[in-house]
Amino acid sequence: MRELHASLSKRLQLTLVVGLVGLIAAVGCGRPGESDGDKVVLKVGQVLPADHPTSRAMSFFKGRLEELSVGRIDVRLFLSGQIGSANELIMECRLGNVEAAVVSTAPLAQHVEILNVLVMPFVFRDNAHQYAVVDGPIGRKLDRHLAERGIIAAAYFDSGSRNIMTKTGPIEAPDQLEGLKIRVMSSNVLRAAIDQLGGSAQPMSQAEVYSALQTGVIDGWENNPATCLVFSMYETGCTHFAWTRHVAIPDALILSRDWYDSLDEDLKRAVDQAADETRQKQRELWREYEGQAIEQLKKAGMVFNEVDHEAFAEKFEGFYDRYTAQYGPEFGSLVEQIRDLDNSPR
């Protein structure tokens, strides 16, 4: 038995070493400003696959930045979690080992707590309201908090509303979630939100969701139609889609502050312009793809239903006060500013 234990330990150590070597080979071990000859390298990690609209937007970013920098920046995209989960990418950006990443602001808020204002249930009225928040003065206030943690928010992307999909359904009212194990991202607020609705929140990485649904480890998950389609989640038997729209959490293109600060002014302007253009491109691609995704999911057997939104919203009475008490008066003030923001056309 001791020999078997020793053998297994050696094999585990070897596996960890091989995995670490592979990660170093994929990411590179250079510090901010790493160059390949005369070029500055910009590695961008994300968990989304190539056919996701945000991945298509990042292909646009690559081409545009390489053009604007006249080939001085070499953009290398790593999709489908090739170089880490969202949390790992955020940490690597802060350390400067990865120059950029596309992540949801939900796990980002685990590192910069004030960003939880963007994760709060029912805080946004619609897309235009969300854009006005993240692209305007409120977004710039959040950016300053990110910069203090070594991160530059280059652009905020649309990721639609998050809704609840289950293997049993339809879910039309909160009490129908009672006891159901629902996957959420790594986010204290999302965990609390699902628990508040009566479900049992199960944090796990996106890469684990498909098999967890297949094997019954979870009863459902929450996300948007585009992500459901590109990850083929309908194949797992999770075919009931309830339009809860309980949160609408933007994604963010983040940069290592050390890397960005190491650039000369011309290259900074190129990065800024490419990010601005990519923000608009991503939102256009998202709108186009989401409608297509809904139709494709219906053809694949996904059943969509509306819910009693008033009943869902009522579940969160007092929820904001709890987090204002936890995160402080600035958090409460920002939530009020977001909810009071008038984004109507002038």
Mean pLDDT score, 48-67: 97
CATH number at residue 297: 3.40.190.170
Q: Are 115 and 145 in contact (CB under 8 A)?
A: yes
CA distance 179 to 181: 6
pLDDT tens figures, 233-287: 999 999 999 999 999 999 999 999 999 999 999 999 999 999 999 999 999 999 9
Domains in the chain, number = 2
Which residue range is the domain that position 221 belongs to?
162-248+293-340
Range with lowest mean pLDDT among 1-5, 148-152, 197-201: 1-5
Residue 180 counted as domain residue: yes
| Cβ-proximal residues to 235 (8 Å cutoff; 6+ apart), any chain | 210
How far CA 119 is from CA of 180, 189, 195, in Å, comes to 22, 7, 15
* Average pLDDT of the residues of the chain: 91
Residue 139 counted as domain residue: yes
Q: Is 271 found in the same domain as 235?
A: no
CA 122, chain centre distance (Å):
18
Mean pLDDT score, 199-225: 96
| Cβ-proximal residues to 108 (8 Å cutoff; 6+ apart), any chain | 86, 90, 115, 146, 151, 252, 254
pLDDT at position 7 over 80: no
Confidence of residue 38 (pLDDT cuts 50, 70, 90): confident
Residue 93 counted as domain residue: yes
Residue 28 counted as domain residue: no
The H helix count followed by the E strand count for the chain is 14, 12
